[in-house]
Chains A and B, each alone.
Chain A
Amino acid sequence: MRIPLQQLDHRSSSYERPNQDWVCGWARDGHACKLGPDGKGRCTAQAQAHCAPVREGDRWVCTRADVFGGTCEQGPLPDGRCCNPKPEQEVCQPVRSMRAKRALVVRLAAMLALGILVIGLAGPWRLHFTSPGELSASHMAIQGPPGSQNCGVCHVSGDTTFGGWVKAALMSGDYESNTAHQSSQCLACHFSTSTRDQAAALRVHSRSEEAMARMAEKSNARADSNAAGQPGSGDQGTASPGRSPMALAGLTTASLDLAELIHGKPQFDDDVIPCATCHREHLGPDHNMKAMSDAKCQVCHETRFESFNKGHPEFTALDHTNRGIIFDHSEHATRFEGGKLKCAQCHEADPLGRTMLVRPFETACEGCHAQGSEDHHGDAIKKNALLVLQLPSMEFDEKMYWPMDYAYAERLTPMMTMLLAGDDAAVPMLKSITYDSYGDLYEWQLTLEDNDETEKKAELAQAIKHLVKDLAEYSDEGAEARSQRIAAAFDTTTDDPAVRNLAAELASASFVMQMFKQRYMPQLDQDMKGEDVSSDDDESDQAQWMTSKNMSGWRVDSDEGTISYRPVVHADGLLKHWIEAVVKFSHRPLAADADALAKDRHELLTRIAENLENDFRACTECHSEQGEHINWTAAGRQYAASGYVKFNHRPHMAMLHDPDNCTTCHVLKTGSGENMVHGFEPHRKAVCENCHAPGNANNTCLNCHQYHETRPNASIVTASVGQK
């Protein structure tokens, strides 16, 4: 027979108070009193035993409640006091209820947590305590040896206390500055080779917003042309104009669509993306900081696709912003076919195997295009040497120290014009000769006589004599005068590299100039001092080539009264620096506040530059002009293709068993055209897809593309081997 335990009626069932902090000390043994302890944990047994009798008429009546035993038999004492001397229940030591114990544990746990934080954050070990983890392997040097915490190197808060951290967290301005500070610290090491690259590194793809807009426009136009089925459009699934068609929809494109639907296009303050947006640190030495998902790569792009194999546009002809060496492979096709010319004869991989460099001229070209060979364009120069200086044929009304018998020039040479343009007084005359008389000195002199300005002939002669004197001067003053003259002619400073280079070339020829002066104007110094000089000089009529090492190519021709120059080797310094200077300064826009003199000089320089290609066809046949620059070397990979494309030749060549099997990817294009990639068809995506596909070789965006146009701290890969 089971004893009924649970009584639920209100009289026989005791009232439990689990929410109170204290319970009767006898409760554990099942003897809990009915009232229990008070709120402060004091036993109430004594109080329960007593009552406060009330007087009814002439009697005192017990008022003890039923729960405490009810009215006692004895009743109140005659004087109205309670009769119970002691409680029925022994006084206990109340204990905490389970709920109170739990609350106590909670408080202790909270204190423990606070204690851990106070100890961890207040001590000198706070940076070690809060460090989220080791840096990546490439940044181990920043982290320092074990135990050291160089957080301040990257974080503004790294050198402050916890109070500073709280302030930084609460102040949004500090947060912004912290973000900017971290990126600037990254740039202290990365892209440090160029200030321009550093400034650009934080911009989207290192480009300005306008440049990115132009690129997007171009990309969309290409996508539209692909869709229209124009050449270069892909086959199955590759025609993806603008947004991906539903047929190409997949997880990537769906995620991107959702992202754009919810958040729109990514927006960046001041067009700046902090480095940490993509490069996450503190994930351990094995973490790849450059890793990024295909979807993230495409989030800003107008043209989106699922993967390289599904939707990636077909490759297009490369945009030759830098044409490098002008060499059309298709024009040499017959030599490739005959096997006489192999790719490796002109190309070799760089030390890392990434880029196929062009071997130097002596190795790659000179075999066929040697001086003296029928193919060598330089022969034209050899036959028609560069005329540097020739005294013009002029007649003077007054007495003039001038070698009349050896002054034959009917036109001023371009270099002479340039050097004379460094003389302020000569500039108006040069302009008049060049533009009004079309460079014909004879016509200019006739015009002067017609205009009764014959004194200008003497002025020109005087300017030329100044030039000869400057060119022939050995001393430092002569060198300075030449530099000043060249700088003035180009409207720049003597510190300009182009000026320095050209001045150096002329300095090396000062011996020749001295010889010229001695031969034709031996009394020039006296004449320039204003002394009386004899008009009859003792000239030698022997032509002489200067063949010593330092003056190779210079020639003083007594018959013609000229100084000429003939380059004897490829990559001649004088020609190179002369062309560089003319191209550079003729392309430089004239300052808005330029005076009349500067404008005249610029016009003269423009005319010289216009004739440059004809005068130096032997050079410009292969070396293309690009803005202010001449491409002396072959275009590097990062210039030839978009700066965002990368390709490593070495592993690919390892798979091509025939070392000359470059034609797997580089397919010669028959015919010729300006848009051709040096005579090659655009690369075909299908060739890449043979290996780069899911489950096979890597087909992610970053396998072939890089976000930054230039690699951080990667020195620019030279385009040719041992280039001069």
Chain B
Amino acid sequence: MITFKARRRRLSLVTLAVAAVIIPLLLAWSLSLHDIAFVSGWTLLSLVIVLTLFNVRKKLTYPPLFKSSTWLQLHVYVGYLAILVFFFHTGARLPRGLFESVLYALFLLLALSGIVGLYLSRSVPNSLADRGSEVIFERIPRFRRELSDRAKALVLQSIEKHGSSILSDFYSMRLADFMSRPQHLGAHLIRSERPRQQILHDLEALDRYLSESEREIARELTSLIGQKDDLDFHYTRQGILKLWLFAHIPLTYMLLIFLVAHVVLVYAFAGTIS
């Protein structure tokens, strides 16, 4: 089985090879005194349409045109190629008009969001494997409720059995809010465990006031806190894996709409050999 690293190297080489064919072709075309912007523009539009087809493929269950993972690979490397052709098309010059500036910004934002998404899709799964067990994003609220219910039950148990309010006070002051909803999302984004350690530290500080049976409950609460924190970690990181698409896909459609207008304007105003 081919490794990820080997696959990446192979596909990168293929992309470079395609670029090595396309760019000289475009250069050669420009030397023929034709307006290279027409050719590079249509090339770029074709690449953008190919990139958009990935989203279409995801929605289609039939016909089985290759696996989604194959399409993803195609999407990634065609995206790289599109960025290259984009800079060729624009001559690596900043736009000077309002419309073209919007178009330029849309493409750059789209490319940037794609690169960010690619980075996230490469880095987030690894980080998820390091923390907690695998969970489905949509089930996280239910798991969070289960953990919260369990923690609440333990605290009630400590009151009923020992008549002590130490753990219940701690729960109401520190844990109730923590267990009931996602917490410390910012810290999880940067993989910081400081908030978790702080809660555990506060719980440990109560240890000298607890009876032996209460310590047993506290140990269970410690485990629940760890699980809840891992769950928040998964929620945060899986969430950003889904959230970046809120930028990438809308930008795609905005770009396509502007591209249509761009083509109309070019053909209405151009005055060279296409």
Which B residues are CB-close (under 8 A) to A130?
Answer: 97-99, 265
A182 and B271 within 8 A (CB): yes
A102 at the interface (CB under 8 A from B): yes
Q: How far is the CB of B211 from chain A (nearest CB, A)?
A: 20
Q: How far is the CB of A467 from chain B (nearest CB, A)?
A: 61
* B254 partner, pick from A5, A16, A113, A120, beta carbons under 8 A: A113
0/1 string, A148-188, CB within 8 A of B gives 1: 00010011011000101110111000010011011100000
Which A residues are CB-close (under 8 A) to B98?
Answer: 120, 128-131
A215 at the interface (CB under 8 A from B): no
B33 at the interface (CB under 8 A from A): yes
Q: How far is the CB of A555 from chain B (nearest CB, A)?
A: 65
Give CA–CA (A263, B223) in the complex, Å.
71
B29 and A262 within 8 A (CB): yes
Which B residues are CB-close (under 8 A) to A128?
Answer: 98
Q: How far is the CB of B179 from chain A (nearest CB, A)?
A: 11
Interface residues of B (CB under 8 A from A): 24-25, 27-35, 93, 95-100, 102, 133-139, 141-148, 150, 220, 223-224, 226-227, 231, 242, 245-246, 249-251, 253-254, 257-258, 261, 263-274
Q: List 8 A-B contacts (CB under 8 A).
A: A31-B142, A105-B249, A113-B253, A114-B257, A130-B99, A256-B31, A284-B96, A299-B32
Question: Which chain B residue has the least Cβ–Cβ distance from A121?
Answer: B261
Q: How far is the CB of A305 from chain B (nearest CB, A)?
A: 15
A32 and B100 within 8 A (CB): no
Interface of B, secondary structure class, is helix
Give CA–CA (A296, B136) in the complex, Å.
59
Interface residues of A (CB under 8 A from B): 1-3, 5-6, 14, 16, 18, 23, 27-32, 98, 101-102, 105-106, 108-110, 112-114, 116-117, 120-121, 128-134, 151, 154-155, 157-158, 162, 164-166, 168-170, 175, 178-179, 181-183, 255-256, 258-259, 261-263, 266, 268, 273-278, 282-284, 295-296, 299-300
Which A residues are CB-close (under 8 A) to B96?
Answer: 132-134, 282-284
Question: Which chain B residue has the least Cβ–Cβ distance from A185?
Answer: B271
Known contacts A255-B28, A295-B31; A157/B268 CB under 8 A: yes
* B273 partner, pick from A178, A258, A277, beta carbons under 8 A: A277
Give CA–CA (A23, B142) in the complex, Å.
13
A299 and B223 within 8 A (CB): no
A105 and B29 within 8 A (CB): no
Which B residues are CB-close (under 8 A) to A151?
Answer: 269
A6 and B136 within 8 A (CB): yes
A259 and B138 within 8 A (CB): no
Question: Which chain A residue has the least Cβ–Cβ distance from B145?
Answer: A30
Question: Which chain B residue has the least Cβ–Cβ distance from A272?
Answer: B273
Which A residues are CB-close (under 8 A) to B267?
Answer: 168-170, 175
* A282 partner, pick from B97, B134, B246, B264, beta carbons under 8 A: B97
- By Cβ-Cβ distance, the 9 closest A-B pairs, closest first, are A133-B96, A30-B145, A109-B250, A182-B271, A169-B267, A165-B268, A259-B28, A259-B31, A30-B142
Known contacts A6-B133, A98-B242; A30/B144 CB under 8 A: yes
* A133 partner, pick from B28, B32, B100, B138, beta carbons under 8 A: B100
B145 and A166 within 8 A (CB): no
* B245 partner, pick from A102, A117, A121, beta carbons under 8 A: A102
Q: How far is the CB of B96 from chain A (nearest CB, A)?
A: 3
Q: How far is the CB of B107 from chain A (nearest CB, A)?
A: 13
B142 and A32 within 8 A (CB): yes
B254 and A169 within 8 A (CB): no
Question: Which chain B residue has the least Cβ–Cβ distance from A171?
Answer: B267
Give CA–CA (A276, B27) in the complex, Å.
18
Given contacts A106-B253, A109-B253, A132-B97, 20 further A-B contacts (CB under 8 A): A6-B135, A6-B136, A30-B141, A102-B245, A130-B97, A130-B265, A133-B95, A158-B269, A164-B268, A165-B265, A165-B269, A169-B263, A170-B267, A178-B270, A179-B271, A259-B31, A261-B28, A273-B33, A277-B272, A296-B33
Which B residues are CB-close (under 8 A) to A170?
Answer: 267
Question: Which chain B residue has the least Cβ–Cβ distance from A183?
Answer: B271
Q: How far is the CB of B213 from chain A (nearest CB, A)?
A: 16
Which B residues are CB-close (under 8 A) to A2?
Answer: 133, 223, 226-227
Which B residues are CB-close (under 8 A) to A27?
Answer: 138, 141-142
* B251 partner, pick from A109, A165, A181, A277, beta carbons under 8 A: A109
Q: How far is the CB of B261 from chain A (nearest CB, A)?
A: 5
Give CA–CA (A168, B253) in the complex, Å.
25
A6 and B139 within 8 A (CB): yes
B143 and A5 within 8 A (CB): yes
Give CA–CA (A284, B242) in the complex, Å.
42
Which A residues are CB-close (under 8 A) to B145?
Answer: 29-31
A106 and B95 within 8 A (CB): no
* B220 partner, pick from A1, A29, A276, beta carbons under 8 A: A1
Known contacts A3-B224, A259-B32, A299-B33; A178/B97 CB under 8 A: no
Q: How far is the CB of A251 from chain B (nearest CB, A)?
A: 10
Which B residues are CB-close (under 8 A) to A284?
Answer: 96
Give CA–CA (A109, B247) in the complex, Å.
10
B33 and A14 within 8 A (CB): no
Give CA–CA (A282, B223) in the complex, Å.
66
Q: How far is the CB of A376 from chain B (nearest CB, A)?
A: 55
A169 and B100 within 8 A (CB): no
Which A residues are CB-close (under 8 A) to B134?
Answer: 6
Q: How far is the CB of B234 from chain A (nearest CB, A)?
A: 10
B93 and A266 within 8 A (CB): no
Which B residues are CB-close (under 8 A) to A283?
Answer: 93, 96
Give CA–CA (A299, B96) in the complex, Å.
30
Which B residues are CB-close (under 8 A) to A121?
Answer: 261
B31 and A5 within 8 A (CB): no
Give CA–CA (A3, B274) in the complex, Å.
67
* B147 partner, pick from A3, A98, A296, beta carbons under 8 A: A3
Give CA–CA (A154, B268) in the complex, Å.
12
Q: How far is the CB of A692 from chain B (nearest CB, A)?
A: 23
Question: Which chain B residue has the least Cβ–Cβ distance from A293?
Answer: B31
Question: Which chain A residue has the least Cβ–Cβ distance from B138?
Answer: A16
A277 and B102 within 8 A (CB): no
Q: How far is the CB of A196 from chain B (nearest CB, A)?
A: 23
Known contacts A16-B139, A29-B141; A258/B272 CB under 8 A: no
B227 and A299 within 8 A (CB): no
A5 and B220 within 8 A (CB): no
Which A residues are CB-close (under 8 A) to B263?
Answer: 169
Give CA–CA (A3, B224) in the complex, Å.
8
Question: Which chain B residue has the least Cβ–Cβ distance from A292?
Answer: B33
Q: How far is the CB of A303 from chain B (nearest CB, A)?
A: 16
